[in-house]
Amino acid sequence: LFNNAAHDQRHAFEDVTVEYFDERIAVNLRHLFFAAQAVTPGMKAKGGGSIVNFGSFSWRVGFGGMPVYTTAKAAIEGLTRSLARDLGEFGIRVNCVIPGWIMTERQLAERIQPGDRAALLADQALKFLLTEEHVTPATLFLLSSAAAAITGQNLIVDAGKYMY
């Protein structure tokens, strides 16, 4: 299971309503839990499987301006570790890919200003903008049998921006 969906809409802490909070948690966290729950019986029947959740570096570096999003993304790492422990006895591996700032069409159109590219690259050890093509191989590796002994782990793909 490749478990990914998110919406990183910016929002002010003071403006968050109960309804907005619940909707953002649903978009950014709830589906990961229930998608994993839905595929687990089939994986158990087959004697194993792999679940890769997608997290975010945003909460790790303390990004502001989107506290519900960062809360949900932090919870994904907790969910990953808990499920890895709970499902390991059935041969099911659960890991998390944590991408850096991926330059999707939306990010390029809405978030990146002309001077931002230079600043982004200055902070990275590897000097290129990240795209989904950089994250896909890491995800496929964790889903594959080559990662048979890896579970409960976070694989950070950020071009060396944040070396934790």
pLDDT at 83: 98
Catalytic residue among 20, 69, 162, 164: 69
Is residue 20 annotated as part of the catalytic site, yes or no? no
User: What is the token pair recorded at 8?
Assistant: 């990183």
- 47-96: per-residue pLDDT in tens? 999 999 999 988 887 777 889 999 999 999 999 999 999 999 999 999 99
Type of residue at 65: G
User: What is the token pair recorded at 59?
Assistant: 């909460």
- 88-102: per-residue pLDDT in tens? 999 999 999 999 877
Section 3-16 average pLDDT: 87
pLDDT at 164: 60
CA dist 103 and 8 (Å) reads 13
Please state the pTM of the whole predicted model. Answer: 0.89
Residues 6+ apart with CB under 8 A from 137: none
User: What is the token pair recorded at 25?
Assistant: 């948690």
